[in-house]
Chains A and B, each alone.
Chain A
Amino acid sequence: MPAIELTTPAALPADWRDILALTKPRVMYLVVFTGLCGMLAAPGVLPLALGFTAILCIALGAGACGALNQWYEADIDAKMRRTANRPLPAGRMDRQSALHFGVGLGVFSVVLMGIATNWLAAALLTASILFYVLIYTVWLKPRTAQNIVIGGAAGAFPPLIGWVAATGHVSALPLLLFAIIFLWTPPHFWALSLFVRSDYAAAGIPMLPVVAGVPSTRRQIFLYSLPMAASAVLPWLLGLTGPIYGGSAAVLGFVFVVLAGRVLANRATDPAQMAPEKKLFAFSVFYLFALFAVLVADRWLAV
C-alpha cells in the first residue's frame, strides 16, 4: 500500500471566541429582551428555573440562526467591509463546523424548550429558526428587495414564544406584539441600509435603497412607520393593556413618525449627511426596548 502523505498542515481548531461570534451575541439582546417581556406580560408566573430556561432557549435559537446565517452567507460576508472579519470569511473556522454547530444548537434549544415549558412554544421556536434560515436567509434575502418585510417575521417571534412558554396558548396580545415587531422591522433596517448601502451593493444583496433608490426607501420608511405606530397603540385601544402602556406607546409612536418624517424630508445621498437616518435607526432600537419595558411595567404596576 502506498504511503499517504499529508501535504497541507491540519487546520487549527476554532478559538472559542470565534464560536461565540458565530451566534451574533450583539443582535441577541433585542431578541432576548422582547422574549422576556412577552413572558413577563403574560398572565401567571412561570417558576424561575422554567422562565430562565425559556429565555435561554430563545437566546440559543437566535444563536443557531446567527450561525446558520453565517454558514450560508460566508461568501457574501467576505465582500462587505462590515462583515469581512467574521470567523468564516476571515478563514478562522471552516464552514462545516459552523453548519454542525448551528444545527446542533437549534435542535438543542427546541428540545430543551419542549422539555422545560411546552411543545407549542418549542414548535414556535422551530418555526422561527426555520423561517429565519430558510425563508429569509436562503430564499428572500438574495432575491427580493422586500426581504426585510417578510423576513421581519422571524424577529417578531420571541415575544410570542415567551408568552406561549408562560401560558401554553396563543391569544390576541402576543399576536399584536408579533405585528408590532413585524411592522417595526422594515423602517428599522431600511434606515440602516440607507447609510450602509454601498456595502450591500458591493455584495449584490437587493436591499431596497440599492434596487429602488434612496427617495423611494425614505417614502417606504415613512409609510411603514404609520401602521407600526398605530399597531403599537392597538393593545390599549382593545383593552388588553392599561393607560401606562397606551400613553407611552402613543408618545413613542409619535416621536418615531416625526423622525421618519425628517428622513422623508432629507434629500442627501451621501451617507455622511444622513443624520436623520442615523437618528431614526438609533431611536428605533430605543423605541422597541421602551415599548416592551412599559408593556411589562403596565402589567405589573396594574396588579
Chain B
Amino acid sequence: MKLEEEVVRRQRERARILAWLLGGFVVLLFFITIAKTGINW
C-alpha cells in the first residue's frame, strides 16, 4: 500500500471514531442534564 493511501486510511479511521465519540458525548450530556434536573420518566 502506498504511503499516501495509508495516511488517508488512518485519517478516515480516526475521523470516524472521533465522530462516534462526539456523538456518544452529546447523548451522555443529554442524560446528565436529565439526571441533574431530576426529571423522572
Task: Tell me the A residues contacting B by CB distance below 8 Å.
Answer: 9-10, 12-16, 19, 47-50, 52-53, 56, 115-116
Contacts and interface: CB of A to CB of B under 8 A. Distances in A.
A251 B10 CA distance: 51
27 contacts: A9-B3, A10-B7, A12-B3, A12-B6, A12-B7, A13-B10, A13-B11, A13-B14, A14-B10, A15-B13, A16-B10, A16-B13, A16-B17, A19-B14, A47-B35, A49-B28, A49-B32, A49-B34, A49-B35, A50-B35, A50-B36, A52-B28, A53-B28, A53-B32, A56-B28, A115-B32, A116-B32
A15 B10 contact: yes
A56 B28 CA distance: 11
B23 to A, nearest CB: 15
Contacts of B11: 13
Interface in B27-41: 28, 31-32, 34-36
A96 B22 CA distance: 23
A10 B3 CA distance: 10
Nearest to B25: A112
A255 B22 CA distance: 46
Task: Say whether chain B's binding surface is mostly helix, strand, loop, or mixed.
Answer: helix
A154 to B, nearest CB: 26
Closest 3 CB pairs of A and B: A49-B31, A47-B35, A49-B35
Q: Specify which of A9, A47, A52 lies most central, judged by the most chain B CB atoms within 10 Å of its CB.
A: A47
Contacts of A15: 10, 13
B40 to A, nearest CB: 9
Contacts of B35: 47-50
Contacts of B32: 49-50, 53, 115-116
A9 B17 CA distance: 26
A52 B31 CA distance: 10
Contacts of B7: 10, 12-13
Nearest to B35: A47
Contacts of A50: 32, 35-36
A140 B28 CA distance: 37
Contacts of A116: 32, 36
Contacts of B36: 50, 116
Contacts of A9: 3
